Amino acid sequence: MNILCDLVARPSVNPMGRSVPHETPFFEGRVSDYLEAFFRSLGVPYERTTISPGRDNLIARFEPPDAKHTLLWDAHQDTVPVEGMVIEPFQPTVEGGRVYGRGSCDVKGGLAAMLAAFARLVKDQPKGAARVLLACTVDEEYTHTGSSALASQRLPVDLAIVAEPTMLEVVTAHKGAVRWKVLTEGVACHSSRPRDGVNAIYRMAHVLNAIQKYADRLQDSTPDPLLGPPTLSVGRIEGGQSVNVVPDFCAIDLDRRVIPGEDVDGVRQALREALQCELGDSVPFSFSEPWVRMPSLGPDRASSWVEPVREAIGTVLGQRPPISAVPYGTDAGPLSASGIPSLVLGPGDIAQAHTKDEWIAVDQLEKAVEVYYALACNLGS
């Protein structure tokens, strides 16, 4: 719990694409510095790699001499922004069996549990334990640059365990995501003479109507047996310069959730064709390149590990945990796409993630430490 409080007290807000100075509370540098000091105090080998300015991945290694299997533990350092919170986001508070603060649930709780379990492995040196690589990645909440860089290293790993708030259930599948902009152009003119111009926002209104029809059809398409149908959502719109100028541009941000078997480029082309069919040549539009290409996680690659993992968890919890699938994305997507069998497992309830009074239950933290430790001890041979 002390580790979690230390992490929450160090802001690591992801700017989510906004242009911001490299200062409090943005970016992961303060947490990265804490992690580096933590690993140095344990005397373990570690690497700190810059992914982008002020944003560094760290990988620490527990290297028992006779380990036959290697586990990758992954937890991200960043949090979502804090606007609208009703608690002090960076002043961790322990009350009523909960730890409050931004990131306490997503996912500094999971990171803290992994750090505590990792430190215990280093101290105890249990016989037969697996080799553990503890990766602390950046930018999970927006573009997954940290996990994508980690995946590109092609580490010799038998199984990745990704920390997310799953209530210690074993997640074997999740959706991926593609995010990009749709743009319409117009001709600016004085708003007192609107017929002299072309209103880009009016054009976008037609595009939005067509997108809504397409999104409704997606909801009725053939679902994945675990994850349900793919989805499409418009999350943001911007356009124009001033109320007294007919707007010459409009842009919307799309979030397309993909299910296993769908191709990132294919889903974009499918929407383009649907819009062209609906609108013809009457409303010109264009697509930006995606800024997020997060692969989905399918249940097949890690299937041989599911029961050994559940059995190891059962030694701690007294019973094997359920197997789950979730609609959100995680670092397991890029890791699995690179060939690493990956599962998602961590303390806390996703219902508390990103909330105005984010918290995690202390008993979940304590159980997670024991679970991660048991996984390393039981999956080594």
CATH number of 190's domain? 3.30.70.360
How confident is the model at residue 94, as a pLDDT?
96
CB-count exposure of residue 81 (10 Å: 0-12, 13-18, 19+): middle
Looking at the fold, whether 266 and 165 belong to one and the same domain comes out as no
How confident is the model at residue 229, as a pLDDT?
97
**Per-residue pLDDT of the chain in tens (381 residues, 90 and over written 9):** 899 999 999 999 999 988 887 777 999 999 999 999 999 999 999 999 999 998 999 999 999 988 999 999 999 999 999 999 999 999 999 999 999 999 999 999 999 999 999 999 999 999 999 999 999 999 999 999 999 999 999 999 999 999 999 999 999 999 999 999 999 999 999 999 999 999 999 999 999 999 999 999 999 999 999 999 999 999 999 999 999 999 999 999 999 999 999 988 899 999 999 999 999 999 999 999 999 999 999 999 899 999 999 999 999 999 999 999 999 999 999 999 999 999 999 999 999 999 999 999 999 999 999 999 999 999 977
CATH number of 23's domain? 3.40.630.10
From 294, 319, 340, give the residue that closes a domain.
294
From 294, 328, 353, give the residue that closes a domain.
294
Looking at the fold, whether 252 and 151 belong to one and the same domain comes out as no
Looking at the fold, whether 171 and 32 belong to one and the same domain comes out as yes
Looking at the fold, whether 146 and 187 belong to one and the same domain comes out as no
Looking at the fold, whether 171 and 58 belong to one and the same domain comes out as yes
Looking at the fold, whether 287 and 328 belong to one and the same domain comes out as no
Looking at the fold, whether 123 and 255 belong to one and the same domain comes out as no
How confident is the model at residue 45, as a pLDDT?
98
Taking alpha carbons only, the member of 120, 119, 146, 118 closest to residue 132 is: 118
Looking at the fold, whether 281 and 136 belong to one and the same domain comes out as no
Q: Long-range contacts of range 205-214, CB-CB < 8 Å, 24 or more positions apart?
A: 206/279, 206/282, 206/283, 207/182, 207/252, 207/275, 207/279, 207/283, 207/285, 208/234, 208/252, 210/274, 210/275, 210/278, 210/279, 211/182, 211/254, 211/271, 211/275, 213/278, 214/271, 214/274, 214/275, 214/278
Number of structural domains, the chain?
Answer: 2
Which domain covers residue 59, as residue numbers? 2-175+296-378
The number of angstroms, rounded, from the C-alpha of 241 to the middle of its chain's C-alpha atoms is 33
Which residue has 């992954």 as its token pair? 74
Looking at the fold, whether 53 and 182 belong to one and the same domain comes out as no
From 260, 294, 328, give the residue that closes a domain.
294
Q: What is the token pair recorded at 124?
A: 């105890």
The number of angstroms, rounded, from the C-alpha of 166 to the middle of its chain's C-alpha atoms is 13
How confident is the model at residue 20, as a pLDDT?
84
How confident is the model at residue 17, as a pLDDT?
85
Single pTM value for the model: 0.93
Looking at the fold, whether 187 and 103 belong to one and the same domain comes out as no
User: How far apart, in whole angstroms, are the C-alpha atoms of residue 191 and residue 316?
Assistant: 68
User: How far apart, in whole angstroms, are the C-alpha atoms of residue 370 and residue 360?
Assistant: 16
Looking at the fold, whether 352 and 245 belong to one and the same domain comes out as no
How confident is the model at residue 3, as a pLDDT?
98
Looking at the fold, whether 195 and 275 belong to one and the same domain comes out as yes
User: How far apart, in whole angstroms, are the C-alpha atoms of residue 42 and residue 72?
Assistant: 18
How confident is the model at residue 263, as a pLDDT?
87
C-alpha separations of 65 from 23, 44, 125, 129, 375 in Å: 42, 14, 10, 9, 18
